[in-house]
Amino acid sequence: MRIARFSIDGNVAFGAVEGEGTVESGGLVLDIIKGIPYTDFELSGTKVPLSKVRLLPPVLPNKVVAIGRNYAEHAAELGNEVPDVPVAFFKPTTSVIGPGDVIEYPSFSNELHHEAELAVVIGRMCREVPRERVKDVVFGYTCANDVTARDAQKREKQWARAKGFDTSCPLGPWVETDLTLAAAGDLTIQATVNGEQRQLGRTSDMIRSIEDLVVHITEAMTLLPGDVILTGTPAGVGPLNVGDEVAVTIEGIGTLTNKVIKRG
């Protein structure tokens, strides 16, 4: 099931996406969900065309835990070694935007990069999750763009500003809940800028699997329903400029599209 979060007439709700097509092409409708999707819910039967609503970030995470250098070729293209343990960092909730929202080019950077990523959405409160239980705590998957001020990342060493500025975490267009862990571990992932392909890889190229990451993160902290794990980006990251349209597409999930504008 594809679960979207949307607004219509000033109201915010979740809905199940039905039909064939894309956000842009039309043909999709939303069956409004009664309640919230992390618990048992019912479909209301009230349907609205997706073209009549504004899609929002599909979740409102308490935290976004991101993993760096989880693809060997990406680590190499930036001159980095593959780390001995997963490199984790946070992106604040204020960085999260949805499909169609704008990425604001930060004033402190002159080198903004796209990073297409598979995002794991957590469905229940969990801590110290054993590997065999990971499937039970994952709600679903969505597309993410870990937008990065690369020059600030290099200059400041710590990544808080470089990867945590407002609008640096596009998520969407919806959460796909029907993928198994095995399926999510072998999907095509790509990024295009103005229609030109920049990144193309498979989630099977990740150094640490989804199970590895959930186990590693929950050794240290409690994850809550709606929290997001960004699993790393394949090779091919590159510059974004004001006016560019960047799209992240993941097989079996969908396409997340955002435009870059000048802040202010």
| Residue 9, phi then psi, degrees to nearest 5 | 55, 35
- pLDDT band of 111, cuts 50, 70, 90: very high
* pLDDT at residue 24 greater than cutoff 80: no
Q: What average pLDDT score do residues 130-143 get?
A: 98
Taking residues 149-170, what's their average pLDDT? 96
Give the pLDDT confidence of 219-261 residue by residue, as tens digits: 999 999 999 999 999 999 999 999 999 999 999 999 999 999 9
Domains and CATH numbers, the chain: 2-55 (2.30.30.370), 64-262 (3.90.850.10)
Mean pLDDT, residues 107-120 taken together: 98
Nearest partner of 67 among 255, 190, 172, 212, judged by Cα: 212
Whether 78 shows a pLDDT value over 90: the answer reads no
**pLDDT (0 to 100) of residue 80:** 80
Look at residue 10 and tell me whether its pLDDT is greater than 80: yes
Q: Which residue has the higher pLDDT, 40 or 231?
A: 231
Specify the pTM: 0.96
DSSP secondary structure letter of residue 81: P
Q: Is the confidence at residue 25, as pLDDT, over 80?
A: no
Report d(CA 58, CA 164) in Å as an integer: 19
Q: What is the pLDDT of residue 75?
A: 80
Percent share of the chain, pLDDT over 70: 100
pLDDT of residue 73: 87
| Per-residue confidence band for 135, with pLDDT thresholds at 50, 70 and 90 | very high
Q: Which two three-digit tokens encode residue 186?
A: 């072998």
> What is the pLDDT, as a whole number, of residue 37?
93
Give the model confidence (pLDDT) of 46-65 as tens digits.
999 999 999 999 999 999 99
Q: Dihedrals φ, ψ of 234, to 5°?
A: -75, 175
First-to-last CA distance in the chain?
Answer: 38
